[in-house]
Amino acid sequence: DIEGLMAKLQEVEDWLYEDGEDETKGVYVAKLEELKKLGGPIEMRYKEWTERGPALEQLVYCIRSFREAALSGDQKFDHIDISEKQKVVNECSDAETWLMEKKQQQDALPKHANPVLLVSDIKKKAEALDRFCKPIMTKPRPAPKPQTPPLAETPSPEAYTPEEQSNGADESAEPASDGAQDEHVGEQMDTDKDDPSQA
Tell me, what's the pLDDT at 34?
A: 78
pLDDT for the residue numbered 41 = 84
Domain residue limits, the chain: 2-137
The torsion angle over the Cα atoms of residues 19, 20, 24 and 30, rounded to 10 degrees, is: 120
Half-sphere exposure in the Cβ direction for 171 (13 Å, CA):
6
What does the pLDDT profile of the chain (199 residues) look like in tens digits? 667 767 777 776 767 777 766 777 787 788 777 777 777 888 899 999 999 999 999 999 999 999 999 999 889 999 999 999 999 999 999 999 999 999 999 999 998 899 999 999 999 999 999 999 999 999 998 887 777 766 666 655 555 555 555 555 455 445 544 544 444 444 444 444 444 444 4
| Confidence at residue 5, expressed as pLDDT on a 0 to 100 scale | 67
DSSP secondary structure letter of residue 48: H
pLDDT of 156: 57
